[in-house]
Structure 1
Amino acid sequence: MRVGLMGYGRAGRAVARVLAEDARFELCWIARRHAGEGEHMDERPDVPVVGLAGTDLNHWFDTHPVDAIVDFSEADTLFLYGEELRRGGLTLVSAISAYSDEHQRYLRELAGQCRIMSSPNITLGINFLLMAAKLLRDFAPFADVEVVEQHFRDKPEVSGTARRIAESLELEEDRITSLRVGGIVGHHEVIFGFPHQTVRLIHDSIRREAFGTGAAFALLELSGHAPGLYSFDDLLMEKMHNRLLEGRAA
């Protein structure tokens, strides 16, 4: 599968390394807001880095065709490549956490012709945690629930993943506790307080390459789906459902 990557910050660089080393994918190019002439991926001169500013994306997509885009840039980048996505019927895996209502409407529009997965955190672990937390919340709606998130010192906002966990559990945002300490990549914890016991569901991102393995999972899962807008939960729940059916058949 030929893949183009949007975004080349700390997360984007880690995702690029994972995709470039995975034999199931061909990382064809990387796009960032600004790029120097002749710039290429670190230690991979065969993977060009193009600047979005001043580039004719219509021509670029024609001369550098891909089957899918992975987006680790920023929300408004969607408007730069969205029509190329539609024109080619491409697959999109987006890890953007700050999409506005306008962005979401545009994603739904594009999903009429494209396979799109959008999730603020695309690590397998955090999405498994989210699924388990929702199940436990259904089993025990009387339990006290709190969400704790920890990230690197300079992250300014409450994490989009923590907000999504809270929303899925029908919690107000004031039930999220945020800590900013050193160089923590990402820590999310859901605490269930029962009478006489406590359950803690914890996920730690140790390296940003975890985002790359999540993106690879989503790309492969989407390839078997019809055009539409999916969440990581959708892909994970369907895979689990199919496995359960296989187990019953056996």
Structure 2
Amino acid sequence: MSEQTVRLLIHGASGRMGEALLRLCAEQGGCQVVAAVTRKSPAQRVIDGVPFFAAKELSGVPAFDVAIDFSLPEGFDPVLDLCVVRGAALVSGTTGLSDAQRAALDEAAKSIPLVWASNFSLGVAVLTELVERAAAALPGWDCDVVEAHHSQKKDAPSGTALTLGEAAAANGAKVNYASLRAGDIVGEHTVQFTGLGERLELVHRAGNRDIFARGALHAASRIAGKPAAAYRVRDLLN
């Protein structure tokens, strides 16, 4: 299905990621937004040819192949349920999910293809795999995850830093974290492995936030039509 036009539902369309998804899908082709869903009732029903719906109208949206969800935990359950009912795929980057919602994701993966990630950058997907390989190959080395973000970001370490740290820890590393909040830094992550007399640094720097929306659109184009399962972004790179 990745060679065909993928019909998308954008859930959380009024947020920063939702707006980027709408703009990039219109620019790059290969996808068609058949419904944009916002938490509140939209001021306009159709914008640039895209029909808008309020969250309370979610059950009435037209047929879609993939829902891309960047919303809030309180809005997550209805879109997951809709995907299961419709047999559609789900791509979600909504953070702050509860244990019950994570369990619901696992259960949904038995009937639909889905991917949840804290970061949809394709570069970070590759970085995570490299971190796993390095941690497994360098037992006993110190491992530090250093991340920097803009001064308004409240959580520390970042979700991406924790994901990278979990990847290292799962392969034997003991992980330390350091966080920096300054200026308008979009996002920088360094995973450093230090041994006697040598140091390995794996680094990813985000130049703009569009990379996350592009990654989500890439994942949506690859996951449509796949068998039911929980996928990682890196499973959908090719």
**TM-score normalised by L of structure 1:** 0.84
Quote how far apart the aligned CAs of 1:72 are.
1.2
C-alpha distance in structure 1 between counterparts of 2:186 and 2:119, whole Å:
12
C-alpha distance in structure 2 between counterparts of 1:12 and 1:180, whole Å:
25
Are the aligned partners of 1:15 and 1:208 in contact in 2 as well (CA < 8 Å)? no
C-alpha distance in structure 1 between counterparts of 2:231 and 2:212, whole Å:
17
C-alpha distance in structure 1 between counterparts of 2:29 and 2:77, whole Å:
30
User: SS at 2:8's partner residue?
Assistant: strand
Are the aligned partners of 2:7 and 2:66 in contact in 1 as well (CA < 8 Å)? yes
**TM-score normalised by L of structure 2:** 0.88
From the superposition, tell whether residues 151 and 39 of structure 1 become closer, same or farther in structure 2 (CA, over 3 Å): farther
From the superposition, tell whether residues 153 and 73 of structure 1 become closer, same or farther in structure 2 (CA, over 3 Å): same
Are the aligned partners of 2:11 and 2:79 in contact in 1 as well (CA < 8 Å)? no
Could you tell me which of 70, 74, 78 is aligned with 2:72?
74
User: SS at 2:144's partner residue?
Assistant: strand
Which deviations, in whole Å up to 9, do the C-alpha atoms of 1:117-152 show, x marking residues without a partner?
111101101111111111011111121110011112
C-alpha distance in structure 2 between counterparts of 1:118 and 1:127, whole Å:
12
For residue 115 of structure 2, what is the aligned residue in structure 1? 117
| Aligned-residue RMSD, C-alpha | 1.9
2:210 aligned with 1:209, yes or no? Answer: yes
Could you tell me which of 53, 56, 75 is aligned with 1:50?
53
Are the aligned partners of 1:151 and 1:187 in contact in 2 as well (CA < 8 Å)? yes
Structure 2: where are the runs of 5+ without partners?
1-5
Structure 1: where are the runs of 5+ without partners?
240-250
Are the aligned partners of 1:15 and 1:211 in contact in 2 as well (CA < 8 Å)? no
User: SS at 1:169's partner residue?
Assistant: helix
Which deviations, in whole Å up to 9, do the C-alpha atoms of 1:173-223 show, x marking residues without a partner?
7x1111111111111111111222211111111111101221122123223
C-alpha distance in structure 2 between counterparts of 1:156 and 1:99, whole Å:
17
Are the aligned partners of 2:84 and 2:112 in contact in 1 as well (CA < 8 Å)? yes
C-alpha distance in structure 1 between counterparts of 2:68 and 2:74, whole Å:
14
**Percent identity, aligned pairs only?**
28
For residue 94 of structure 1, what is the aligned residue in structure 2? 92
User: SS at 2:73's partner residue?
Assistant: coil
Quote how far apart the aligned CAs of 1:172 are.
6.5
Quote how far apart the aligned CAs of 1:11 are.
2.4
C-alpha distance in structure 2 between counterparts of 1:187 and 1:15, whole Å:
22
User: SS at 1:156's partner residue?
Assistant: coil
User: SS at 2:110's partner residue?
Assistant: coil
